[in-house]
Amino acid sequence: MPEQMAFRKVTGEPVTHEVSYGAEGPAGDYLRGRIVRFDDGIELLEHRPVNGPQRREAYERLDNEILAGRQLHELADWSYPTQVAKLYGDEPNSADPFALFEPYQGSPLRDVGLYMGDHEFDAFLTGLLTGLCWIAAAGIAHQMISQDTVLWDSERGVLITDFSRSTIFGVRRTTLDGYDGWVPKELRQGRCAGTVGPRDDIWAAGQLIYFVGNQGEEPQDRSQLADLDAMFNGLFDPIFGPVENRPTARELLEDGLGRRVNVPSEARRSERLKAGRESFLEVRTRKHAGAVTPPDFNADLDWMGVPADRPAAPANGDHPDAVGTAAADGASVCPPAGTDGDAADTTAGAGGTTRFKRRRGAS
Amino acid sequence: MKTVDQITYQARTGGSGMIFETATSLRDQAGSDLWWSRLEPWLRVGKPQGRAYLNFGTEAAFVRWYADPMSHYDWERAHVLAGAADLLTGRYALELVTPDQAKQFQPEAQVPLSATERGQGPGAIEARARSADATEQLIPLLAHAMRGERRVTMPWTAPLVPEAVMWGLLSILQMIGDTTPVSFLTYMSSTRVVEDTPGLFVGFRPDLTAVLPPDPGFITLAETLAARFADDMSALRELLAKHGMLEPADRASRIKRLLDLLPVIQVGGGDADRTVPANAAVDGPGEVDQHPSTSVRRVRRENTGEIVRCPMCLHEIDDWNSLGYWRWDESTEVYVEVEVPADLNDLQLARALHGTSVRCPSAQGQARIGAHFLPADYGHFGPPVVLGFVGLTKSGKSHLLASMVGGVVERGLARFGISVNALDHSLHRRYLDSWVSPLKQGKVLPGTREGIVEFADAFLVKGRDGSERVVALFDVAGGELAKLDEGKEFLWIADGLFFVIDSARMTEEWAQDETFGTVLDVVRRRTRNNEPVSAAVVLNKADLLRFEEPVDRWLRSAEVIKGAGLDAVEFLRESADVYAFLDGKNALAMAEPFEVCQKATMHVVSPTGGAETGGAGVYPRGVTPRRVLRPLVAMLAMTGVLTGPDAEQVGV
């Protein structure tokens, strides 16, 4: 028996469709996914909160997906990035809310990342970082970039999915439990500090790049980063340092790989908010002639701020906030010491060392 | 031509069993059905010792009950007169001849449905009404009636006394031009109250020994009128008419005229012993001690000389400590006066007075809005801070207030260095039970009732510096705020106002809130008089805007940054973002309080965390309030409850 589904497209257009349900789509602990097939033949992926004790958290996660999708749509308009899961429509306020996405294409990198050729790896790097550029430009931090949430399709390329843990720039960081292997230090239990910004996803992206580049091996020692660091023109090693010293996705693409990026600026949202505040300050000054604007008034919007003299990446394993520290926390971070500089020619050695298979600047 | 019809009813197994109509002069079934539906609940609560006069507005009924003296049922037959209220008046009914009791108990007897006859005229009942027994009861009843009470329960003392008291009351009300419909039941053995007659209802109960003490100011007036009535009824009527008692158009004006005439009425009787200054009768706190019907000992503390202004009627109470103490009675849902034994030590006295209230002594205020009570500690901690909520109906004011109080109860203000205690525990408990608990259970709250302007809750708030202030919270129905008439007096003394914006109205079409304009007119006038008002503009139900910038960011931000305490810059940032948001939504009219009020902040708030859906009266997501305490904290800083450099910068 077909079911009627009423919702709102991201463009604001109200939609009512008779639907029948198809195969189950990707599902998680909080959101259940399934394919809905409209009577005009269109198929979409539907996410709804699961029932049960975790339902309240499930509502929040669906909200996160909708927020990210709407922000990306507003940013991209008609040129929606192919590297990011596309929200088609949503109904967030009903008793059984849902979001509709274009069905995901591709397989998790956990399954397919081990078998990429050099050309594919290059496409993966570009796709992943371009997708992260778009996400950052929308003012969103994905917060769960991993081998499971990033899909790969040999024809379509990268698809970043599952924004259920995402949030927006400027909010204070909160602990993300349960994903330690892919969660940066600043989001782990008891260590949260500062506000979310465009550098937050980069730690997990670096992990993922190493994971794919090293054929599924998880990094053990930061010395293994040398090849990637060289490939990224010295910007890869800082990925695993303090968040404020990490490069952005745009910097990794432009300054690291030398690629041209055609994505709006990450600062766009911040600048828009600052402009809105200016009109308020004018009114305030008219009302209270002597009122002074505090010097740190816009500090909460300065999520793009980067120390002018970002420290150079340590040569080998002595970064104060990287390898040893992270490993001690139970999170694998960096490749083991003792690997040589040309990863493409290395093979797995004795003593548990891993090899790095990619060439610098592979294309 | 108007007529008075008769109906008889039979109850073979008493008033709790089946009752059926046995005869009537009514010619149509519809009329018979109508009277049955009106009278049925009243028939069940009556007794042969009593009579009921029920004024339904344009029509009225007079009921008498009869029982076989040998029967064990409360009654078996009832006789009803029914007709136009201006023909079948209460006084007329009381002057009627009582039907032959014996005839009522003839098996299957039919009541003679002939035209009713007047009795001996008013002479007999008038004499009884002017007796000492009746006068003693008439005084408190008249005081309650003039104050505008709707339900008064009197003690039944002896046969025919209640009828005489009612006849006296109706006569005096007629003289002073009070046209309020009056109904009565002269013998109530049941506490069951039937709430379907307009105006005043008076019931007489044999199990009562005293009437609730009425307002002291009206007592003197009632004593004087009853005394003049007992002395010479015609002279009183002429005196009142001569001084234009019937000229004012409305009831409140007539009561005011009467209060003004009090010295004249007193002198007119020539009884110098009864003469008291009119002002003392109305406002003088010393009068309460002289009330003859109460044995309550008043606790007189030293007058601090500090004037406390009643937030409900604006009366200036110049000796707070002279007021008597009252306590809310949960079972009867009325305030009852607290008797304080004379030999209590200080600790015992404090215990006895814990959780009590005082009644505002203003007669004028009570004439306008009825008796109103304030927590006994309201006037003990310096000038109280009065805060009110402004916004259209359905803007979510009640949900906001309930969430705020819920947050306060959960010690949410401790994070800002603020400790809070309920000022009136019974008031606080009632508010929690009626509003906060249902909301926490995920239920949608009803709107604020129209016509009710009273404290929602009040707290004793202590900041970091240890100073304590009383903070009183008012919630008013949105429909009432759109017009400035009686009952919104608190606006004229409010220290701070929460202007509540309904996020559902943010549609990018031009939006405004007429309640803001009405209230801001008052604010402007007060500002000109150097009485600044602070404002917290609340973008309420912000969960509806949770995907929009910058609402998204604020809703996802913690209510207070750990360790930051009161951060004036953070309040300024939030205000700026809300202002910018309203600007972008073509809704800057709603930001007007920011421009008009001397100190102002703007906030993103979600009292429930999600919307009600499906009209089921519940929140499917549960209730997870967000940022509800920040407007209150800002208001406490702007109104001087919180002190210090940071607090001074909030709202600037």
| pLDDT computed for residue A11 by the predictor | 83
| pLDDT computed for residue B11 by the predictor | 87
Report which of residues A49 and A318 the model is more confident about: A49
Q: Is the pLDDT of residue B503 over 80?
A: yes
Contact B547 A272 (CB under 8 A): no
A96 neighbourhood in chain B, CB within 8 Å: 620
**To the nearest whole percent, how much of chain A has pLDDT over 90?**
44
Per residue in A95-116, pLDDT tens?
889 999 999 999 999 888 777 8
| pLDDT computed for residue B112 by the predictor | 46
What is the average pLDDT across B501-512? 78
Give the pLDDT band of residue B341 (cuts 50, 70, 90): confident
Nearest to B595 among A93, A287, A291 (CB): A287
| pLDDT computed for residue B99 by the predictor | 57
A59 neighbourhood in chain B, CB within 8 Å: 610, 621
Contact B579 A294 (CB under 8 A): no
Q: Is the pLDDT of residue B54 over 80?
A: yes
Residues of B in CB contact (< 8 Å) with A are 544, 546-547, 549-550, 552-553, 556-558, 561, 568-569, 572-573, 575-577, 579-581, 583-584, 594-595, 610-611, 613-614, 616, 620-622, 624, 652
Per residue in A244-262, pLDDT tens?
899 999 999 999 999 999 9
Taking CA B540 as the corner, what is the angle to CA B539 and CA B543, rounded to the nearest 5 degrees?
105
| pLDDT computed for residue A221 by the predictor | 67
- Select from B168, B91, B108 the least CA-distant residue to B133: B168
Nearest to B576 among A169, A272, A277 (CB): A277
Highest average pLDDT, of A149-163, A326-340, B405-419, B490-504, comes from A149-163
| pLDDT computed for residue B109 by the predictor | 43
Written as six digits, the tokens of A108 are 């998790």
| pLDDT computed for residue A177 by the predictor | 67
| pLDDT computed for residue B391 by the predictor | 84
Contact A170 B553 (CB under 8 A): yes
Q: Is the pLDDT of residue B509 over 60?
A: yes
Q: Which of B537, B573, B597 to mutate to test the interface with A (most CBs of A within 10 A)?
A: B573
CA distance B500 to chain A (A): 19
Taking CA B145 as the corner, what is the angle to CA B144 and CA B146, rounded to the nearest 5 degrees?
95
Domain boundary assignment for chain B: 4-205, 381-649
Beta bridge partners of A46: A34, A100
Give the pLDDT band of residue B452 (cuts 50, 70, 90): low
Q: What is the mean pLDDT of chain B?
A: 81
Per residue in B122-149, pLDDT tens?
778 888 899 888 998 999 999 889 888 8
- Select from A58, A251, A38, A45 the least CA-distant residue to A161: A45
Lowest mean pLDDT among B79-88, B359-368, B432-441, B447-456: B447-456
What is the Cβ-side half-sphere exposure of residue B545, based on CA atoms within 13 angstroms? Answer: 26
Give the pLDDT band of residue A306 (cuts 50, 70, 90): low
Nearest to B547 among A70, A94, A296 (CB): A70
B546 neighbourhood in chain A, CB within 8 Å: 63, 67
A56 neighbourhood in chain B, CB within 8 Å: 621-622, 624
Give the pLDDT band of residue B96 (cuts 50, 70, 90): confident
**DSSP H/E element including B566:** none
Report which of residues B538 and B45 the model is more confident about: B538
The pTM for the full model equals 0.67
| pLDDT computed for residue A346 by the predictor | 27
Tell me if residue A346 falls in helix, strand or coil.
Answer: coil
Partner B contacted by A344 (CB < 8 A) = no
Contact A279 B610 (CB under 8 A): no
Alpha carbon distance B303, B294 (integer Å): 23
Report which of residues A68 and B303 the model is more confident about: A68
Per residue in A156-194, pLDDT tens?
999 999 999 999 998 888 877 665 577 787 777 667 778
Contact B558 A56 (CB under 8 A): no
Alpha carbon distance B520, B515 (integer Å): 8
Which amino acid, one-letter code, is at B546? R
Structural domain A107-264+303-352, CATH architecture: Orthogonal Bundle (1.10)
Alpha carbon distance A246, A321 (integer Å): 12
Partner B contacted by A300 (CB < 8 A) = yes
Nearest to B576 among A94, A139, A281 (CB): A281
Contact A297 B573 (CB under 8 A): yes
Max Cα separation, chain A? 74
Place of tokens 């919630």: B475
DSSP percent split of chain A into helix, strand, coil, nearest 5: 35, 15, 50
Lowest mean pLDDT among A2-16, A43-57, A63-77, A333-347: A333-347
Contact A280 B579 (CB under 8 A): yes
Q: Which of A73, A280, A288, A292 to mutate to test the interface with B (most CBs of B within 10 A)?
A: A280
Written as six digits, the tokens of B599 are 């100190």
What is the average pLDDT across A8-20? 86
| pLDDT computed for residue A222 by the predictor | 66
Nearest to A276 among B547, B580, B624 (CB): B580
B614 neighbourhood in chain A, CB within 8 Å: 94-95
| pLDDT computed for residue B322 by the predictor | 85
> Which residue does chain B place closest to A58, by CA atoms?
B621
| pLDDT computed for residue B75 by the predictor | 87
Partner B contacted by A260 (CB < 8 A) = no
Per residue in B381-428, pLDDT tens?
888 999 998 887 778 888 999 999 999 998 888 888 888 999 888 888
Tell me if residue B67 falls in helix, strand or coil.
Answer: coil
Contact B547 A287 (CB under 8 A): no
Residues 118-147 of A with CB under 8 A from B: 139
CB atoms within 10 A of CB B107: 4
Q: Is the pLDDT of residue B51 over 80?
A: yes
Nearest to A273 among B577, B610, B622 (CB): B577
Partner B contacted by A279 (CB < 8 A) = yes
Nearest to B550 among A70, A273, A294 (CB): A273
Per residue in B163-217, pLDDT tens?
999 999 999 999 998 888 999 999 887 666 565 788 899 998 887 777 777 776 7
B610 neighbourhood in chain A, CB within 8 Å: 59, 93
Lowest mean pLDDT among B151-165, B361-375, B594-608: B361-375
| pLDDT computed for residue B192 by the predictor | 62
What is the average pLDDT across A128-133? 98
| pLDDT computed for residue B483 by the predictor | 62
Sequence-separated (6 or more) residues with CB below 8 Å from residue B525: none
What is the Cβ-side half-sphere exposure of residue A353, based on CA atoms within 13 angstroms? Answer: 18
Q: How far is CA A111 from CA A108, A148, A201, B74, in A?
A: 6, 9, 21, 88
| pLDDT computed for residue B117 by the predictor | 47
Which bin fits A195, alpha (ψ -120 to 50), beta or left (φ > 0)? beta
Lowest mean pLDDT among A64-73, A190-199, A227-236, B534-543: A190-199
CB atoms within 10 A of CB B100: 11
Give the pLDDT band of residue A209 (cuts 50, 70, 90): very high
CA distance B413 to chain A (A): 20
Fold classification of A8-101 is: Phosphorylase Kinase; domain 1 (3.30.200)
| pLDDT computed for residue A322 by the predictor | 33
Place of tokens 């104050």: B147
Contact B544 A93 (CB under 8 A): yes
Per residue in B476-491, pLDDT tens?
766 666 665 555 677 8
- Select from A171, A191, A104, A176 the least CA-distant residue to A145: A176
Partner B contacted by A281 (CB < 8 A) = yes
Lowest mean pLDDT among A40-49, A233-242, A323-332, B268-277: A323-332
Written as six digits, the tokens of B401 are 């207030």
| pLDDT computed for residue B290 by the predictor | 30
A99 neighbourhood in chain B, CB within 8 Å: none
Give the pLDDT band of residue B578 (cuts 50, 70, 90): very high
Tell me if residue A5 falls in helix, strand or coil.
Answer: strand
Nearest to A279 among B546, B561, B580 (CB): B580
What is the average pLDDT across B353-363? 87
Partner B contacted by A67 (CB < 8 A) = yes
| pLDDT computed for residue B365 by the predictor | 81
Structural domain B381-649, CATH architecture: 3-Layer(aba) Sandwich (3.40)
CA distance A236 to chain B (A): 30
**To the nearest whole percent, how much of chain B has pLDDT over 70?**
83
| pLDDT computed for residue B113 by the predictor | 45
Contact B579 A279 (CB under 8 A): yes
Domain boundary assignment for chain A: 8-101, 107-264+303-352
What is the average pLDDT across B338-367? 83
Instruction: Assess contact for A128 and A210: CB atoms under 8 A.
Output: no
**DSSP state, B493?**
T
What is the average pLDDT across B486-511? 81
A280 neighbourhood in chain B, CB within 8 Å: 575-577, 579-580
- Chains A and B form CB pairs within 8 A to the count of 81
Give the pLDDT band of residue B528 (cuts 50, 70, 90): confident
Alpha carbon distance B538, B397 (integer Å): 10
> Which residue does chain A place closest to B610, by CA atoms?
A93
**DSSP state, A138?**
T
Give the pLDDT band of residue A345 (cuts 50, 70, 90): very low
Contact A95 B580 (CB under 8 A): no
Highest average pLDDT, of A28-42, B32-46, B153-167, B595-609, comes from B595-609
Highest average pLDDT, of A84-93, A266-275, B153-162, B338-347, comes from A84-93
Alpha carbon distance B575, B409 (integer Å): 26
Partner B contacted by A294 (CB < 8 A) = yes
What is the average pLDDT across A238-248? 91
Q: Is the pLDDT of residue B118 over 60?
A: no
